[in-house]
């Protein structure tokens, strides 16, 4: 018996030409493997060249459709498209409020279809007012284009303060970025530009519908908003690539399953208002890391003494992780500088590749060849320091590894084209208090396929077999800390053997879609 699929209600218009509206929504939902219930809010007479007539569904007819579905097929997510009238907005808003009495986490994705792609205006002032006053305050995510965002009074800002729903301005091309397709995201998890190389096929009917439904489908599968938008951009770009002619005008885009296994569709993302660093280079072919990573066991040390023990045991890829105390004073900082300098000297002596965790300033002062940074650490660096690091990274003068725990963090990590991207936690870990769910080997395999650079599996690696599985997943290295025990010279050869065995075993397949690594409350 097959498992039940998450249910989405799409409350939108019927496009008689089969390009946009509920037709596009159905194709997008199928690409994600969710079940879409098409609720007709408006009927249009249109073809590939334009809209001839729009007739809103009578409010009582809309009410009857929603009542029938609520009785038997309650939604995980509601997505809206063309609603046709202010009265229909009022009906829908009442239903959302009522359903949230039963399911407080019910998500609402609003695609404010105010104008047809042909240019026909589909919204009067009464409808705009209903959107602003009744629907947007209930929305989880709104996916307008630039014009729609302006008409609705939605504020584009460099932060998400919770005063309005999550916002993704689609087609929001950044200035002077003619080679890139840029969308602006504001969400509780992340704010910034999402970018992919621009494609301009002649057929693009239903692009906005596909994006919004894809985001809704991802939310229904348990992804948080930022991750859902990443997947929506991937699915929509694939749909544009698969678009076809139907009629003499713009044909429909065609969402299809399998899009999430195409590495070229994984977007880049910037931090805040800054563009993704990769956007400063030509978009194709995709850039590659400037410096290689020593594959195998990635040994973690919390002190210089421990680092020396690990190096003496034969480790060739190491990280020094010295945690900064809350009361760090000048004496501690001076000792940190001394420790990093000693670590650099030890790595040179043992001919090993060394990464310094955080402490960018101290590492740069002694010209450490490798840095490992968390996402928040990179975000806190000044624009000047980032620019210097990127220049040195691209020139191969420094190696940079960066952590990632989610799809939007992977998109951000990719944007700097690092030496490696860490994926974690692969298994549950007590070493660090984190909100992230275990990635598992399925997500690790997906990361290894999609990252565009070497991937390091980290978190909860305590058994030799786990290193074997990490290698089978396609990761370049397995990060080991506590698993090295008190005397690394004894277990390190076994760790190396276990990882090497995985490199020769059958590779683990990557899933068609990753799973969420953060508990969704949408």
Q: Confirm if 279 and 195 have CB atoms less than 8 A apart.
A: yes
Pick from 455, 427, 422, 423: nearest CA to 440: 427
Distance CA 257, CA 387 (A): 38
Measured over all CA atoms, what is the biggest interatomic distance in the chain, rounded to whole angstroms? Answer: 79
Confidence check: pLDDT of 266 > 60: yes
Distance CA 123, CA 133 (A): 15
Q: What integer pLDDT is reported at residue 522 of this predicted model?
A: 61
How far is it, in rounded angstroms, from Cα 330 to Cα 336?
10
Of the listed ranges 56-65, 113-122, 214-223, the one predicted with least confidence: 113-122
Q: How far is CA 212 from CA 21, 111, 343, 494, in A?
A: 11, 6, 50, 49
pLDDT in tens, 148-178: 999 999 988 877 777 889 999 998 555 566 7
- Residues 169 and 157 sit within 8 Å (Cβ to Cβ): no
Residues 6+ apart with CB under 8 A from 284: 197
% the chain with pLDDT above 90: 82
Coil/strand/helix, residue 4 = coil
How high is the pLDDT of residue 335?
Answer: 94
Please tell me what DSSP assigns to residue 132.
I
pLDDT per residue over 176-213, tens digit each?
Answer: 667 899 999 999 999 999 999 998 899 999 999 999 99
Cis peptide bond upstream of 473, omega within 30:
no
**Pairing, β 35-46 against β 7-15:** parallel
In 8-124, which residue ranges form alpha helices assigned H by DSSP?
21-32, 59-72, 86-102
For 374-393, how does the pLDDT look when each residue is reduced to its tens digit (9 = 90+)?
A: 999 999 999 999 999 999 99
d(CA 184, CA 270): 10
Q: What pLDDT sits at residue 1?
A: 42
DSSP reduced 3-state for 81: coil
Q: Reduced to 3 states, what is the DSSP secondary structure of residue 400?
A: strand
Q: What angle do the packed helices 464-472 and 492-504 form, to 10 degrees? A: 30
How far is it, in rounded angstroms, from Cα 479 to Cα 298?
4
Give yes or no for residue 519 having a pLDDT over 90: no
With cut-offs at 50, 70 and 90, classify the pLDDT of residue 292: confident
pLDDT > 80? residue 2? no
Contact 138, 93 (CB under 8 A): yes
Between 171 and 29, the higher pLDDT residue: 29
- Mean pLDDT of the chain, nearest integer: 93
- Indicate if the pLDDT at residue 89 is higher than 90: yes
pLDDT of residue 357: 96
Query: In whole angstroms, what is the distance from residue 375 CA to residue 378 CA?
Result: 5
Q: What are phi and psi of 52, to 5 degrees?
A: -95, -30
Q: Distance between CA 213 and CA 219 in Å, rounded?
A: 10
Evaluate whether 296 touches 454 at the Cβ level (below 8 Å): no
What residues contact 227, with CB distance under 8 A and at least 6 apart?
Answer: 189, 218, 406, 407, 408, 516, 518
Domains of the chain: 7-280 (3.40.1190.20), 296-504 (3.20.20.70)
Coil vs helix vs strand at 55: strand
Distance between CA 109 and CA 214 in Å, rounded? 10
Cα separation of 422 and 413, whole Å?
Answer: 9
Q: Which residues pair with 260 in a beta bridge?
A: none
DSSP run (H or E) holding 469: helix 464-472
Check whether 416 has a pLDDT greater than 90.
yes
Looking at residue 418, the DSSP 8-state letter turns out to be -
């Amino acid at each position: 018996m097959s498992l039940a699929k998450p249910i989405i209600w799409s409350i939108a218009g019927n496009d008689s030409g089969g390009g946009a509206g509920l037709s596009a929504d159905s194709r997008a939902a199928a690409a994600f493997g969710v079940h879409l219930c098409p609720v007709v809010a408006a009927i249009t007479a249109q073809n590939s060249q334009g809209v001839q007539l729009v007739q809103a569904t009578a409010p009582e007819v809309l009410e009857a459709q929603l009542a029938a579905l609520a009785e038997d097929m309650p939604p995980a997510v509601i997505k809206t498209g063309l609603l046709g009238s202010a009265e229909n907005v009022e009906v829908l808003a009442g239903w959302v409020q009522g359903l949230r009495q039963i399911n407080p986490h019910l998500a609402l994705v609003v695609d404010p279809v105010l104008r047809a792609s042909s240019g026909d205006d589909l919204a009067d002032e009464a409808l705009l007012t209903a959107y602003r006053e009744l629907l947007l305050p209930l929305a989880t995510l709104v996916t307008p284009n630039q014009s729609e965002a302006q008409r609705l009074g939605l504020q584009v800002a460099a932060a998400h303060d919770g005063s309005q729903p999550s916002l993704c301005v689609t087609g929001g091309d950044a200035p002077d970025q003619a080679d890139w397709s840029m969308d602006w995201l504001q969400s509780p998890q992340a704010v910034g530009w999402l970018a992919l190389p621009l494609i301009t096929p002649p057929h693009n009917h239903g692009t906005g519908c596909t994006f919004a439904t894809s985001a809704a489908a991802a939310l229904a599968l348990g992804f948080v908003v930022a991750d859902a938008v990443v997947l929506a951009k991937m699915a929509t770009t694939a749909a544009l690539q698969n678009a076809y002619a139907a009629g003499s005008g713009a044909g429909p885009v065609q969402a299809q399953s399998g899009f999430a296994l195409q590495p070229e569709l994984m977007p880049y993302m910037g931090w805040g208002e800054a563009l993704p660093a990769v956007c400063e280079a030509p978009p194709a072919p995709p850039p590659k890391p400037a410096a290689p990573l020593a594959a195998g066991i990635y040994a973690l040390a919390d002190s210089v003494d421990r680092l020396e023990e690990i190096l003496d045991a034969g480790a060739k890829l190491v990280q020094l992780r010295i945690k900064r105390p809350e009361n760090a004073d000048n004496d501690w900082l001076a000792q940190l500088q001394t420790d990093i300098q000693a670590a650099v000297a030890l790595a040179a002596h043992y001919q090993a590749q060394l990464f310094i965790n955080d402490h960018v300033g101290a590492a740069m002062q002694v010209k450490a060849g490798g840095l490992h940074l968390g996402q928040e650490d990179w975000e806190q660096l000044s624009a000047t320091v980032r620019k210097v690091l990127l220049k040195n990274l691209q020139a191969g003068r420094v190696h940079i590894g960066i952590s990632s725990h989610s799809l939007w963090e992977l998109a951000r990590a990719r944007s700097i084209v690092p030496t490696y991207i860490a994926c974690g936690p692969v298994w549950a870990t007590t070493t660090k208090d984190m909100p992230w769910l275990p990635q598992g080997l399925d997500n690790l395999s997906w990361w290894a396929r999609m990252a565009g650079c070497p991937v390091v599996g980290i978190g909860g690696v305590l058994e030799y077999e786990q290193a074997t599985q990490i290698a089978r997943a396609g990761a370049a290295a397995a990060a080991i800390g506590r698993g090295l025990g008190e005397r690394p010279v004894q277990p390190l050869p076994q760790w190396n053997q276990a990882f090497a065995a995985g490199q020769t075993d059958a590779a683990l397949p990557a899933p068609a879609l990753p799973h969420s690594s953060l508990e969704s409350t949408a």
